[in-house]
Amino acid sequence: MRTFVLLFMSTTFLFATAYDQGKKLYFEKGCNGCHGFSAGGTNLYPPLAFRRKEFLTYKLKLLRSKQGNTQLAQMMIPFAMTLTDFQIDSLTTFLSDYHEKSKKSYIPDNSNTGGGSS
């Protein structure tokens, strides 16, 4: 039984789509720490979701070769240096084909039932 479970887990990883592998990498490598949970960017870091795959690939390979033209880009170099071509392909597939459901962080309570206080 143990062998079956290990075999199933390894074949699942082998047949995972590039999108799924890229999603896993996005969180494993900590990209969400700066670019946001949904890759939509933050006030300081750019959005990555829905960007063209070719653009993202070009930028990551440029950063991997230790070339960054801004201070923020240079901060990315250590992260990009660890990526293989396969990982870059998976990560850019996830970001360019992004189709996760967005989660609202705040849902206003528009009820008028009140709590009895003024």
| pLDDT tens digit sequence for 84-104 | 999 999 999 999 999 876 554
Query: Using an 8 Å Cβ cutoff, are 61 and 54 in contact?
Result: no
> Buried (b) or exposed (e) across 62-82, using 16+ Cβ within 10 A?
bbbeeebeeeeeeebeeebee
Is there a domain that residue 75 lies in? yes
Is there a domain that residue 60 lies in? yes
> Model confidence over 3-50: pLDDT tens digits?
654 455 544 455 689 999 999 999 999 999 999 999 999 989 999 999
Is there a domain that residue 63 lies in? yes
Is there a domain that residue 102 lies in? no
E strands within the chain? none
How many independent structural domains does the chain possess? Answer: 1
Residues in the chain: 118
**108 or 70, greater pLDDT:** 70
Is there a domain that residue 41 lies in? yes
Q: Domain range for residue 63?
A: 16-96
Q: Using CA atoms, how far apart are residues 101 and 90, in angstroms rounded to an integer?
A: 19
Is there a domain that residue 25 lies in? yes
Is there a domain that residue 108 lies in? no
Is there a domain that residue 87 lies in? yes
- CATH number for the domain that contains residue 43: 1.10.760.10
